[in-house]
Amino acid sequence: MEALFAALARIQAFAGVPGEELRASLPLWRVLSLKDERLLWKQGRPADELALVHAGGLDVIVNGTVIGKVGVGELIGETAIFLSGAVRMATLRASRPTQVLALPSAALQQLRAAGSPVYDALLRHALVTAAGRCRELDRQIAQVRQGNFAVPLAPEKAGFFSRLWQRVRQPAVTAIACPPLEELLAQHPVLAHSSEAVRAALVAAFTPRPFRRGDVVCRQGAEDDQVYVLAAGKADVMREIEASGSALLLGRFEPGTIFGVFAFAAGGPRTASIVATEDGWAYAMDGAAYRALAPEAQTVWMEAMLAVLLGQCRAADLALHAAIHAFATQHPALLPSMSDVPNVAGAWGALEGLRPGDDVMRVRAGKAKRR
């Protein structure tokens, strides 16, 4: 057990987990030994566990082609295990005699029910991993959209959005009534199954903010830790890419959209600006308000954000594949729009929001008991 504990303690994801909590989880892990070229997981099979490579190494194989390798100390399957009905996107095969530590989904649910910090650590790690995947897809989609695979995403300068703000900015007063946040949260596939007490705590953590048509609700390149729920009105997702300062329309948001998840979960500059096209309201929660929540409410909100991010990743994958096909066939008119690709939800480089009614990934979640 000491060797197992030492292996888990070295994982960065568990850096903040108390030693006694990590030790308490040891009986839930199982040790698997693989001979050279033996399979750990097979592409297309249910994603029902995560694993840590303790010794040896694994080849990552997609459709019969080796596309990467996994080495000692790396967590694998830490995102898919949170999804109900997820399947393996790749086969993992031992490249030499290998030992892995595996945590089945049933064990993960035990940790969730016990309110274990180990579960929260894995959930946070999954969020960061999903956010990283979103950033990479964001980069690839923007490059394909520009027809240049070597062009990095350009930070916003004092161009289109600054001019827009200065031209249309007015006092944020609107005659539209602000819809109750409780009703909006209850529509979300994850939050709908949380307790009324948890939703009430989340409602208290958000602050309603009115906006006028033309307001920039959040700005490309800004670094902040706020996440939003669009309560009333509509908004466009726009990015300034070209050196001339012109903007590209990436998508449109409607009431119920949760956006700003990427910046809230992983930090860094905003990848797009959200510009109101109607008067309306948005609810905002910053990092300080989130950290003041009770542990159970924090966990539920992390699960909700993970569902949004993973839904965006899947939608962005569809958009990227369609965009590459259009680029390869040299028919720019075929580049997909929001209406062309199902559930893209602003995947054209924005990856900023998703309506609760969209086909988001369902996170495995259950009631928790805090020690």
DSSP 195: -
Average pLDDT over residues 247-276: 85
What is the structure's pLDDT at 210? 94
- Cα–Cα dist 326/340, whole Å: 13
pLDDT digits (tens, 9 = 90+) for 113-155: 999 999 999 999 998 888 888 777 777 766 665 554 333 334 4
Domains 2-113 and 119-354 share a fold: yes
Does 17 or 249 have the greater pLDDT score?
17
Question: CB-based burial of residue 162 (10 Å sphere; 0-12 exposed, 13-18 middle, 19+ buried)?
Answer: middle
Q: What is the CA radius of gyration of the chain?
A: 22
Does 227 or 158 have the greater pLDDT score?
227
Average pLDDT over residues 235-260: 77
Residue 71 near residue 57, CB atoms below 8 Å? yes
CATH fold for the domain made of 2-113: Jelly Rolls (2.60.120)
CA distances from 171 to 11, 17, 167, 212 (A): 49, 46, 13, 8
Average pLDDT over residues 223-235: 93
pLDDT digits (tens, 9 = 90+) for 307-360: 888 877 777 777 667 666 666 665 555 444 433 333 333 332 223 333 333 333
Domain boundary assignment for the chain: 2-113, 119-354
User: Of 101, 93, 92, 87, nearest to 46 (Cα)?
Assistant: 87
Residue 192 has pLDDT above 90, yes or no: no
**In the chain, where do the E strands start and end?**
30-34, 39-41, 49-55, 58-62, 65-70, 75-76, 91-94, 98-104, 207-211, 216-218, 227-232, 235-240, 247-253, 258-259, 273-276, 280-285, 353-354
Structure tokens given for 48: 């029902």
Residue 277 near residue 213, CB atoms below 8 Å? yes
What is the structure's pLDDT at 340? 35
Domain 119-354: assigned CATH number: 2.60.120.10
22-26, 267-271, 284-288, 364-368: least confidently modelled range = 364-368
The percentage of the chain sitting over the pLDDT mark of 70, rounded to a whole number, equals: 74
What is the structure's pLDDT at 53? 94
Residue 160 has pLDDT above 70, yes or no: no
- Cα–Cα dist 307/338, whole Å: 20
